[in-house]
């Protein structure tokens, strides 16, 4: 969400009066009726309704008529109310650049009247991280009067109260300056987040200091709950400052020990990974703490001298009451429980089960033998992010939502505290031993089989790195008496062969000999076929599956359906998914979304997307790519804007879809902004994104920038890179350079065998139309019928060829053939980009708001072109139209209207870029050449065949298109 404070200058007292009226109305109404707003604001002469229109224009209010007609504040409107109040108080006088964006807040740089630079934090609960929670459970105990703005205000009030209290007790926190609504003003920390720091002069000292803060907080009765590298600031002198406090809880909280251990674990993990510390740290040596440590060197929560309620009076004095505390804690706790138990429940249970198995005495290879299968519900190469240590993302599976279970668990722990402590220590040692050199947690798209645990199978997983070694081990096992029907051995042979992309006949032969294969083996076979060049057997295998499918069967199966593009089978599988209760799983939803998009059913894909309560980056990429693949670039741009507004960070796959949409619409300005973003976040090293960027610049006619991208890719260039540049050069009129690059590509050993495609034959047909070669044109037309029989543009070209020879009966015959074949002529339109908007024009268009000015400019263009020697080319217009009507029809073609629009809305000398969905006609081509000379404009037109660069009265195509 962009905070444009410039609009503040244009808002009157009446505007703020109405905004305040809406805010007051929202205390009792989710949507405030206009009549109530009018009564509260009490403006004269119906002024409220005029103001409402203005506020809607600036997006400070949202109009909602779903239940009844009314309005509600947007976060931007709430921002303006808070900022206006703080300005009136004299706390701040200006708002500067954005410093950062999080799931729950935005941080801006602000300044006071004396020039002091401060930080402004705007809380935005409900933007991204908590939306799914609100739909899944009633964490507000059925209180309908709560809303996101109110909860954001509570979060801000709580953070301000904690900062104030902690500052007074000399904790390293920013200075709390003021608070209003959901906005907190604090001192600006001149440092860097610890996550961005690569080196420290004294990492051990910083580690001890940070750990000491956690212990001191507990001693004062508080636990941070989000204490990690993202919320610790380090300045140039290596001074530590802690930030972000809305989620803090008391040490008397029922899950206090878990939150405390999680904070400590985050710090240990980060310093071990980033600074290679060995953790021989004893917090007993910390002069500020009396806490003991366990055998791993971690501070022990049970041994800390805690003062529960120590800061209650200070918090109450700061304006944060006990009732407010209860309300916001209910909100945060329920969110934490939901995001942990709902999103990560499966893999946490698997992880804990395997750890407990180690504690009970299983051999050391037990965990190593747990094989993972990625569900591949997303596109190949999409990396599923592991869980971070941030609050609400790492709760253990031992936390239950059922309050009765929690009470039972707490009672059991109290009755057997010593045993529980001992088991916890054993578990930590088992975890530390088992995780050496491995990932900390399984990703949520991983699949662990709980089958046999033979040492021979474990050895297979460690030793095999090629198919040759696999066959050697297979032969060795047979020679030493392991039966070919052994399900345990066969399971691992099949899994490894699929992982090595071995031809599936090998896995199939093993599979047919296994007695009673388990569901893991069935899933592996389905996955292998789904990832092979012939995915159909995956569907057949599923129909013969003798066991009940599990959560990982359907993602593999749906991937196979996506590759065979059989939407009917996909719909049947979708119904089975719902019937078996797997439709709510995120990776199954992503697979369904991708399947519908790959099958061209982008409407169904979008329906699946909208029904998803939790949307990860894979879901966003799948739906965006689905629209891009199905020729819906406008929808791609709309979804990208929505994605950005909801705080979801795009990745390389997102940028490929976005750049493809920009290329289709020739929105060069948006494409350049995407390029800047790629450089900013480091995606300019992504080959796929760079190839899409190269294609964008080529399709927008800026071939010099396409060359630059090609050069920047360097030695990583692949056939796609070369092809994009060569085709871009060719269609932009640089044929000789395209041939030179083609020779260079061949010299580098890259082969690109080409057969004349429809574009080549269409270009030849167009040239025949210009030069009147009827015989050669008929031959080109015959080849086009074979390649693209339903293309209406080819019929038009052939009709024009007959028209140029005055063969009107043949013209009508071509039109009759079009009707009999069910081919409809595509209506012509032209697109231009201006001010972040794409404007569309059709022939004789009079619907544009600037219609009168546009046609006035068309008259001026006609006068100047006639003085420059323009004569309309009416040869291709049907004979039953009078000559004057022909000339009038030609001059109101969509590209001429688009040029007139750009001439009146851009300063002299500004380049004009147009997309035409059909081939540019001869008359428009000639007219635009003269326009480029008379009006001294560089005009680029991209039609369905090529680019036309008009400059100084000539075109790059040299009149061949």
Q: Is 441 exposed, middle or buried (0-12, 13-18, 19+ CB in 10 A)?
A: middle
**How far is 765 from 771, CA to CA, in rounded Å?**
10
Q: Which position has the token pair 């991209």? A: 942
Distances (CA, A) of 47 to 10, 14, 80: 16, 8, 20
Residues known to be catalytic: 226
Which residues sit opposite 218 in a β-bridge? none
CB atoms within 10 A of CB 379: 15
- What residues contact 583, with CB distance under 8 A and at least 6 apart? 577, 589, 592
Tokens representing 212 are 């000491």
Q: Quick check: 183 and 149 in contact, CB under 8 A?
A: no
CA angle 610, 396, 592 (to 5 degrees): 25
Q: Quick check: 403 and 344 in contact, CB under 8 A?
A: no
**How far is 353 from 566, CA to CA, in rounded Å?**
39
- What residues contact 723, with CB distance under 8 A and at least 6 apart? 752
3-state secondary structure of 34: helix
- What residues contact 318, with CB distance under 8 A and at least 6 apart? 160, 161, 164, 165
Q: Is 796 exposed, middle or buried (0-12, 13-18, 19+ CB in 10 A)?
A: buried
The candidate with the shortest Cα–Cα distance to 447, out of 508, 523, 359, 343, is: 523
Q: Which long-range contacts (CB under 8 A, 24 or more apart) does 99-102 make?
A: 101/647, 102/647
**How far is 826 from 917, CA to CA, in rounded Å?**
9
* DSSP code, position 684: G
- Residue 655: φ, ψ to 5°: -65, -35
**How far is 20 from 81, CA to CA, in rounded Å?**
8
- For the four alpha carbons of 191, 195, 199 and 200, in that order, the dihedral sign comes to positive
Q: What is the largest CA-CA distance in the chain?
A: 102
Which residues sit opposite 123 in a β-bridge? 105
Distances (CA, A) of 907 to 476, 769, 929: 79, 37, 19
CB atoms within 10 A of CB 884: 10
Report the 3 state secondary structure along 724-774. Answer: HHHHHHHHCCCHHHHHHHHHHHHHCCCCCCCCCCHHHHHHHHHHHHHHCCH
Report the 3 state secondary structure along 603-668. Answer: HHHHHHHHHCCCCCHHHHHHHHHHHHHCCCHHHHHHHHHHHHHCCCCCCHHHHHHHHHHHHHHCCH
Q: Quick check: 913 and 698 in contact, CB under 8 A?
A: no
- Residue 232: φ, ψ to 5°: -120, 125
**How far is 933 from 864, CA to CA, in rounded Å?**
11
Tokens representing 337 are 């429980």
Q: Quick check: 505 and 499 in contact, CB under 8 A?
A: no
End-to-end CA distance of the chain, in Å? 45
The candidate with the shortest Cα–Cα distance to 327, out of 152, 184, 105, 102, is: 152
């Amino acid at each position: 969400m962009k905070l444009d404070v410039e609009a503040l200058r244009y808002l009157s007292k009446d505007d703020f009066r109405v905004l305040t009226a809406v805010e007051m109305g929202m205390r009792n109404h989710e949507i405030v009726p206009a009549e109530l707003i009018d009564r509260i604001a009490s403006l004269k002469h119906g002024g409220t309704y005029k103001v409402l229109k203005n506020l809607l224009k600036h997006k400070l209010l949202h109009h909602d008529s779903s239940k009844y007609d009314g309005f509600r504040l947007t976060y931007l409107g709430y921002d303006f109310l808070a900022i206006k109040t703080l300005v009136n108080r004299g706390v701040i006088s200006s708002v500067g650049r954005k410093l950062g964006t999080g799931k729950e807040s935005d941080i801006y740089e602000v300044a006071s009247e004396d020039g002091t630079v401060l930080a402004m934090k705007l809380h935005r609960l409900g933007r991204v991280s908590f939306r799914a929670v609100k739909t899944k459970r009633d964490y507000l105990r059925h209180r309908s009067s709560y809303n996101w703005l109110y909860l954001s205000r509570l979060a801000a009030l709580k953070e301000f109260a904690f900062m104030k209290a902690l500052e007074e007790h000399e904790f390293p926190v920013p200075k709390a300056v003021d608070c209003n609504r959901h906005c907190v003003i604090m001192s600006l920390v001149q440092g860097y987040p610890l996550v961005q720091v690569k080196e420290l002069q004294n990492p051990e000292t910083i580690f001890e200091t940070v750990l000491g803060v956690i212990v001191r907080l507990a001693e004062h009765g508080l636990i941070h709950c989000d204490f990690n590298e993202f919320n610790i600031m380090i300045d140039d002198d290596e001074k530590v400052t802690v930030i972000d406090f809305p989620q803090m809880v008391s040490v008397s909280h029922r899950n206090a020990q878990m939150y405390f251990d999680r904070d400590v674990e985050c710090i240990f993990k980060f310093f071990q990974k980033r600074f290679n510390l060995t953790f021989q740290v004893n917090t007993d040596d910390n002069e500020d703490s009396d806490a003991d440590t366990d055998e791993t060197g971690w501070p022990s929560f049970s041994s800390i001298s805690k003062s529960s309620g120590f800061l209650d009076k200070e918090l109450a004095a700061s304006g944060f009451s006990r009732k407010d505390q209860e309300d916001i804690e209910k909100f945060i706790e329920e969110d934490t429980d939901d995001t942990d138990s709902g999103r990560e429940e499966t893999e946490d249970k698997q992880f804990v089960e395997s750890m407990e198995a180690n504690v009970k005495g299983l051999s050391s290879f037990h965990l190593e033998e747990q094989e993972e299968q990625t569900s591949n519900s997303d596109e190949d190469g999409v990396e599923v992010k592991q869980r971070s240590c941030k609050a609400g993302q790492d709760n253990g599976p031992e936390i239950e939502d059922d309050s009765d279970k929690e009470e039972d668990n707490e009672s059991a722990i109290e009755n057997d505290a010593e045993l529980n402590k001992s088991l916890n220590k054993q578990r930590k040692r088992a975890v530390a031993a088992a995780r050496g050199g491995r990932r900390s947690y399984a990703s949520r798209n991983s699949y662990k089989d709980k089958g046999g645990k033979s040492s021979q199978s474990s050895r297979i997983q460690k030793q095999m790195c090629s198919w040759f070694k696999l066959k050697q081990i297979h032969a060795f096992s047979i020679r030493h008496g392991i039966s070919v029907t052994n399900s345990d051995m066969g399971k691992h042979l099949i899994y490894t062969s699929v992982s090595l992309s071995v031809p599936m006949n090998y896995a199939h032969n093993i599979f047919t000999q296994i007695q009673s294969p388990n569901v893991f083996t069935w899933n592996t076979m389905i996955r292998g076929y789904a990832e092979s060049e012939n995915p159909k057997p995956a569907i057949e295998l599923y129909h013969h599956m003798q066991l009940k499918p599990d959560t990982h069967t359907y993602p593999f199966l749906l991937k196979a359906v996506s590759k065979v593009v059989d939407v009917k089978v996909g719909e049947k599988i979708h119904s089975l998914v719902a019937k078996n209760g797997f439709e709510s799983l995120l990776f199954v939803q992503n697979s369904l979304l991708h399947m519908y998009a790959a099958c061209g059913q982008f409407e169904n894909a979008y329906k699946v997307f909208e029904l998803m309560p939790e949307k990860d980056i894979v879901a966003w990429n799948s739906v965006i790519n689905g629209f891009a693949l199905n020729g819906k670039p406008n929808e791609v741009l709309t979804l990208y804007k929505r994605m950005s507004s909801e705080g979801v960070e795009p990745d390389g796959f997102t940028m490929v879809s976005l750049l493809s949409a920009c290329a289709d619409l020739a929105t060069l300005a948006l494409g350049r902004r995407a390029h800047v973003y790629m450089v900013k976040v480091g995606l300019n090293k992504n080959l796929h994104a760079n190839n899409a960027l190269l294609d964008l610049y080529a399709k927008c006619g800026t071939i010099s920038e396409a060359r630059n991208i090609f050069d920047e890719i360097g030695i990583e260039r692949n056939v796609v890179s070369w092809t994009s540049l060569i085709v871009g050069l060719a269609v932009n009129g640089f044929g000789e350079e395209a041939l030179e690059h083609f020779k260079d590509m061949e010299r580098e050993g890259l082969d690109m065998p080409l057969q004349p495609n429809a574009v080549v034959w269409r270009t030849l047909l167009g040239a025949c139309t210009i030069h009147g070669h009827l015989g050669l044109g008929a031959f080109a037309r015959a080849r086009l019928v074979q390649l693209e029989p339903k293309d209406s543009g080819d019929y038009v070209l052939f009709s024009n060829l007959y028209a140029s020879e005055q063969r009107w009966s043949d013209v009508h015959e071509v039109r009759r053939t079009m009707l009999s074949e069910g081919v409809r002529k595509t209506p012509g339109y032209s697109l231009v980009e201006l001010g972040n908007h794409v404007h569309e024009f059709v022939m004789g268009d009079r619907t544009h708001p600037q219609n009168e000015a546009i046609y006035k400019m068309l008259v001026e263009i006609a006068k100047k072109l006639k003085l420059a020697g323009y004569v309309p080319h009416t040869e291709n217009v049907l004979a039953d139209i009078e000559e004057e009507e022909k000339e009038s029809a030609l001059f109101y073609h969509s590209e001429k209207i688009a040029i007139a629009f750009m001439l009146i809305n851009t300063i002299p000398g500004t380049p004009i870029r147009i997309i035409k969905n059909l081939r540019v006609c001869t008359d428009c081509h000639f007219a635009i050449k003269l326009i480029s000379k008379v009006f001294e404009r560089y005009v680029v037109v991209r039609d369905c065949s090529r680019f036309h660069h008009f400059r100084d009265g000539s075109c790059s195509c040299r009149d061949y298109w």
